[in-house]
Amino acid sequence: MNYRQVVGGVKRSRGLTRTSLVLLCLWVTFLGACGTPQPMRVVLLADGKEQALVVTAEQMTIRDLLSHLDVTLGPLDRVDPDLYVLVSPGMRVSVTRVEEEFEAERQVLPFAHQTVRSERVPLGERRLLQAGSNGELEITYRVTLEDGVEVAREQVRREVQVKPVDEIVVVGVQGELTTVPISGTIVYLSGGNAWLMRESSDLRRNITGSGDLDGRVFDLSQDGAGLLFTRAAAGDETEPLNSLWMAQPSLIGEEPRSLGIAGVIWAAWAPDGRRFAYSTAERVGGVPGWKANNDLWLATLDDDPGAQVKTERLLPATAEIPYAWWGRVYAWSPDGSYLAYAQSDEVGIITLVDGVLVPLASFPTFQTRSHWAWVPSVSWSSDGYLLAFVGHRGDVEGLSPEDSPVFDLFVVSVNDELQVPLTEEVGMWSGPRWSPTSSGMLVYGQAQSPRNSQDSRYELFVIDRDGSNARRVFPPTGLMGLVAPDVAWSPNGDAVLIEYEGNLYRVDVETSRLDQLTTDGQSSHPRWGR
């Protein structure tokens, strides 16, 4: 390699030429007035060129060298050795030009295929309900270049430009089932819509057609005349979680009515069918997607359907309870004077007159170590004297109370004079429900794996008011148990309605006879009114 003495030159903004070394020469001459330093040979590699230099200055840093050669550095450029290092004999200084640029590419989002079983289409017939179309996804990458060569590529954004549209094919199952007589009114969710069944299982119709019911609220009044439900709200985190609506199932062709209330995670009719209570939440990012306010409101309908719903607050919002972000659940007393409440560590009642919470039972919270919280359901006896609920028992040897896997079925009187366990180790999703009649029967789920009840299947039992005469009514031999039982009693207390593997079944509580009511594979949220 040949080394050259620094002579004459002109400026170059990014890099070094043979003539541009005059500045270095002047710098060396200036420093030389203070002494006679020894010449040092260095090599500079920049902008694809290698330059050999002779430097005779002392205490010169690499930053000084590049500055006086007018080599401009970009914000991402790298210098080796570092800029603060002193130039030394034989040193090789390299400047790596680093750049970032962004590239976007489009990808096809293939549409999904859905098959919907319909009891309104003849058996075996297939109909195209909705043609599918592909969507488009835009992926943005940050590309890093060193001296013009790509060295890294990082995905920084994925954005759906065009949403795919699912292909929906309807397969007819009409005539698959035996017709079952129905007393009262049954409503349920299927395919994001509310459905109605009256008189018999083959006489059904849809109440809504929007396909956007989110299932957070789905409550039928005792007289079967009113249905409360929530519709999911589209949009980002600035939009409400959902909106509350009402339908009158008895009126054919009647359009559902928006109640002008948003962000509802619980709502239920009062026994009179003219009032309802509700609790709200805010939409947030991440899981579970909401933050409960733990408030409680009472709403009254006006005789004029176009009038605004009258609301009054019973409980203010609070975060001063365990797992407040998950929220409470509530249940109306049979006479409409009280609301029972349940939270992760307590069950009690609320007086509607003054909105005072009266705790009746407490228990340790259950530590899920996840993004959900366990809160028990609560049910009133028909005489309004007893509450049934699942309580978390924390006295398991070797475990902290919050880690105990034991959940018992309790009843407690509203005057707090009685609190007894009806049966032990039923599981966290037991979901006890009192019969609406004076029979005093209670239906509940019994976990098949009580100490792993979170993931267990459940058998369905009916028990008398005093805890005697427990008998299993579901499943029959050969069928699996239920997943988190959701049970509705018939108005006359002779049967219960359950969802099993996506279909509805009527179970006779005396004979355990099982009648299938739907075959669409997507039925849920069974409700039964008069």
Domains located in the chain, CATH noted: 19-96 (3.10.20.30), 100-167 (2.20.230.10), 212-320 (no CATH)
End-to-end CA distance of the chain: 100
Give the model confidence (pLDDT) of 154-213 as tens digits. Answer: 999 989 899 898 888 877 766 667 889 999 999 999 989 999 999 998 888 999 988 999
Q: Element (H or E) spanning 432, and its range? A: none
Q: Quick one: which of 338, 342, 379 has its CA closest to 356?
A: 338
At residue 66, the 3 state secondary structure works out as helix
Q: What are the residues whose beta carbons fall under 8 Å from the beta carbon of 359, sequence distance 6 or more?
A: 346, 347, 348
Confidence of residue 234 (pLDDT cuts 50, 70, 90): confident
* Averaged pLDDT of the chain: 88
How much is the pLDDT for 36? 63
Rounded Cα–Cα distance for residues 432 and 446 (Å): 10
pTM: 0.71
Task: Check pLDDT > 50 for residue 376.
Answer: yes
Strand intervals (E) in 402-486: 406-413, 419-423, 433-434, 442-447, 458-463, 471-474
pLDDT, mean of residues 103-124: 82
Give the model confidence (pLDDT) of 58-91 as tens digits. Answer: 778 999 889 878 899 999 999 999 999 999 899 9
Rounded Cα–Cα distance for residues 271 and 331 (Å): 11
More confident position, 39 or 451: 451
